Amino acid sequence: MAKLELSEYFSEIYKIGDIPRFKVLIDGKWTDTKETTDLISPIDEKVVAQISTVSADQVKKALNSATLNKSKIRDMAAIDRLELLNKARQELAKHKDEIVKVLMTESGKAFRTAGGEINAALERMRLGMEDSRKIMGEYMPGDWSSDTAQKAALVIREPIGVVLGISPFNYPVYTSIAKVLPALLAGNAVVIKPPSADPLAFLMCAEIFRKTGLPSGTLQVVTGSGEEVGDLLIKSSDINMISFTGSTNVGKHISSIAGLKKTHLELGGKAAAVVLEDADLDLAAKECVRGSIELAGQRCDAVSRILVVEKVYNEFVIQIKSHLKDYKFGNPFDGEEITVGPVISIKAAKRIDEMVQDAIKRGAKLVAGGKYKDAYYEPTLLVDVPLNAEIANEETFGPVITVIKVKDAEDAIKVANNSNYGLDSCVFTENFYKTWEVMKALKAGNVTLNAAPSHGTAYFPFGGIKDSGQGKEGVGYSIEEMTVMKTMIFNLAPKNLGKKYTGEFKD
């Protein structure tokens, strides 16, 4: 049975009882709410915690506190902000094992996957120095243009104000920290709404931020329904920017009610893996299996369809079947050898199965898996998937390997681009010119050669086009999204300090 066990260090974030009741962080204090919802672990469908649902008044209090306290973080010397966040990183590392266990319990992640997420969060925090380099600004002499001669400008970046971060269930710790880190480094106050399905591990991280000296009121953490709590936050005039990671439908809803706020949206994906006739098929199969079923396929950058040219199709399917055996499926607490655990809920498992059964009815062949119990969906292999199947076009978010036969590279490009999504894709080939042709032609924000897509610590920037979102995330790029550019122009003519334009050489 999944059970939460927290050390004394985190005693303030919840009330002890048969079922621990977790609080929210408002105005620097851990606060109770009247309403709660049950957190059900997908591991055994047992209630492991009660999650607070903030009221409208508490939302207003959190927003008011962020607005009133944003000067605390803005007025700190940048080096102090950097050193404070580094101190939090070191403290988080000390509590890594405890956070990993909680993350496994609430999300159903396998040990290796949960540990990988916390490691990625720690590495993202270590790379904070790279973020800070993006807010240096620049000097512009005006004498390069006739109308600005005898003037000069400083172009600087300033905090945008209060940043709202809304995080998804698949990477609740990493994604939340990837929003908090650049926002605070830039001098913004932050309001974070972690996912309702698995917010606990990030609540632990918030306590670490608080205990290591983050100014009171500069980080608010609220939990509750996205439709109610989320909408109140999104519509608020106290919010200056929204950073959202989640589904395309919710992203479109945010855009419709946010008004003129700056929005960064990292939405759904339908990554295509293109396998050409000269590919290293063993490498391609290994990477496509990993990209399809890691984290039970619950990733926006997951390989969601594999487009294989007909010349190597049969051999590739054999390789896929071989590498699928490398993954062990089951309860994450049954041992570290488990690499694929349950999906986030029974509802999610049922949706995945509907897509699989639809594909089979339309002519796809089920080679492996295709069964589920509760939230446990077996790693599944579908081949000969027709293009009219739902799973060939819509985001799967489950451990399903979807293989589609195409005629050649041109056909693969056409099929890959015939999608409303455009987040990630990848291509497997040993031919440089084919690499260039396909990578240039694929309509996606990121294209990877000879590996499955993986955003990792976001050292390389990523972000989608079409229905996959807008804006770029990554080390040094996220911080630009969370600042505003200001141009300060100086007239040097009164003291004759600028260079005069004579016009004598004009044609």
Pairing, β 465-466 against β 151-159:
unpaired
Sign of the dihedral through C-alpha 227, 229, 232, 235: negative
Among residues 362, 355, 434, which one has the least CA distance to residue 401?
Answer: 355
Q: How far from chain centre, in Å, is Cα 177?
A: 10
Residue 303: partners with Cβ closer than 8 Å, 6 or more residues away: 271, 272, 273, 287, 288, 291, 292, 401, 426, 452, 453
125, 129, 135, 140: CA torsion to nearest 10: -160
Q: State the amino acid at position 426 in one-letter form.
A: C
3-state SS record for 18-83: CCCEECEEECCEEECCCEEEEEECCCCCCEEEEEEECCHHHHHHHHHHHHHHHHHHHCCCHHHHHH
Find the helix packing angle between 172-185 and 78-94, rounded to 10°.
Answer: 160
Q: Which of 205, 288, 300, 426 is catalytic?
A: 300
Q: Where are the alpha helices (DSSP H) in 75-171?
A: 78-94, 96-107, 111-126, 128-132
- How many other CB atoms are there within 10 angstroms of residue 138's CB atom? 9
Instruction: Please give the helix or strand (H or E) that residue 165 lies within, else none.
Output: strand 162-166
- The per-residue b/e assignment along 230-262, b for 16 or more CB within 10 angstroms, e otherwise, is bebbbebebbbbbbbbbebebbebbbeebeebb
Q: State the amino acid at position 444 in one-letter form.
A: A
**266 included as an active-site residue:** yes
Are 226 and 200 in contact by the 8 Å Cβ rule? The answer is: no
**98 included as an active-site residue:** no
Q: Which of 266, 395, 473, 481 is catalytic?
A: 266
Question: What are the catalytic residues?
Answer: 266, 300
